[in-house]
């Protein structure tokens, strides 16, 4: 089970510190958290208005491209979860998460956003799309390096290694498509079959 931590102002420490959420009571307009300060260990109640909760969570993002590093603040839905290796769309760029730090600045592989203090990443220019090719007697798997925004369409014929492949289905992170379009950064696997000529 994941321990949810939220930053709250601690009256003992006299500053905002990570609090372990011991109890959460959601009312009509407010949510009351019983939080335990991870620095001094004192438990206290914190009332957050739902409006405030709905605005999501701002997290610091530090990303690099080559030798330069930039810092940004990214807003997440408070129920979001992130893991190392995820691709984060940010201002038209695709940032691959290389490291996540929790509120105590320890690295973790995956966390709910409420536990994250800093996201580290690099600008990702290509993603790997896995393609299953139905070869009649067997299925082979090939990988394709493409820009994250590259579009794949069910029913299209694509040319890979001088072979014409008809896209028969696409599995994305959220759903399985039998028709329609998906962008490379969202794709888990493309299903295809080898064809001789272009088919509609
Ligand atoms: Zn404290």
pLDDT in tens, 100-150: 999 888 999 999 998 999 999 998 777 889 999 998 889 999 999 888 789
Say how many Å lie between the CA of residue 19 and the centre of ligand 1: 8
Do residues 61 and 76 lie in contact, with contact meaning Cβ atoms separated by under 8 Å? Answer: no
Per-residue confidence at 5, pLDDT binned at 50, 70, 90?
A: confident
Do residues 87 and 148 lie in contact, with contact meaning Cβ atoms separated by under 8 Å? Answer: yes
Say how many Å lie between the CA of residue 10 and the centre of ligand 1: 5
User: CA 94, CA 183: separation in Å to the nearest integer?
Assistant: 12
Say how many Å lie between the CA of residue 14 and the centre of ligand 1: 7
Say how many Å lie between the CA of residue 17 and the centre of ligand 1: 7
Say how many Å lie between the CA of residue 34 and the centre of ligand 1: 13
**Pairing between strand 30-37 and 15-26?**
antiparallel
In this structure, which residues have their CB less than 5 angstroms from ion ligand 1?
Answer: 10, 12-13, 37, 39-40
Enumerate residues 6+ apart whose C-beta is below 8 A from 5.
18, 19, 20, 21, 38, 102, 103, 114, 115
Say how many Å lie between the CA of residue 40 and the centre of ligand 1: 4
Do residues 190 and 176 lie in contact, with contact meaning Cβ atoms separated by under 8 Å? Answer: no
**Cross-strand bridge partners of residue 151:** 183
Q: Which two tokens stand for residue 113?
A: 């956003």
Longest dimension (CA), the chain: 73
Enumerate residues 6+ apart whose C-beta is below 8 A from 2.
111, 112, 115
Mean per-residue pLDDT, 72-86: 88
- pTM above the 0.75 mark? no
For 31-45, what is each residue's pLDDT tens digit? 888 999 989 999 999
CA 58-61-63 angle, 5° bins: 165
Say how many Å lie between the CA of residue 42 and the centre of ligand 1: 6
Say how many Å lie between the CA of residue 36 and the centre of ligand 1: 8
Say how many Å lie between the CA of residue 109 and the centre of ligand 1: 27
CA-CA-CA-CA dihedral for 138, 139, 141, 146, to nearest 10 = 130
Q: Please report the pLDDT score of residue 3 as a whole number.
A: 67
For 99-113, what is each residue's pLDDT tens digit? 999 988 899 999 999
């Amino acid at each position: 089970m994941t321990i949810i931590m939220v930053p709250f102002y601690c009256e003992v420490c006299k500053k905002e510190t990570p609090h372990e959420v011991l109890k959460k009571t959601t009312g009509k307009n407010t949510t009351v958290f019983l939080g335990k300060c991870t620095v001094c260990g004192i438990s206290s109640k914190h009332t957050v208005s739902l409006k405030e909760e709905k605005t999501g969570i701002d997290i610091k993002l530090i990303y690099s491209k080559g030798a330069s590093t930039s810092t940004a603040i990214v807003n997440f839905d408070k129920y979001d979860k992130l893991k190392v290796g995820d691709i984060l769309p940010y201002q038209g760029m695709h940032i691959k998460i290389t490291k996540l730090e929790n509120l105590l600045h320890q690295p973790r592989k995956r966390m709910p956003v409420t536990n994250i203090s800093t996201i580290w990443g690099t600008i990702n220019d290509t993603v790997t799309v896995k393609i299953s090719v139905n070869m009649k007697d067997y299925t082979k798997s090939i990988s394709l390096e493409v820009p994250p925004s590259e579009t794949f369409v069910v029913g299209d014929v694509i040319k890979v290694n001088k072979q014409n492949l008809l896209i028969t289905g696409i599995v994305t992170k959220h759903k399985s498509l039998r028709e329609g379009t998906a962008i490379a950064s969202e794709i888990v696997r493309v299903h295809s079959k080898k064809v001789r000529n272009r088919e509609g």
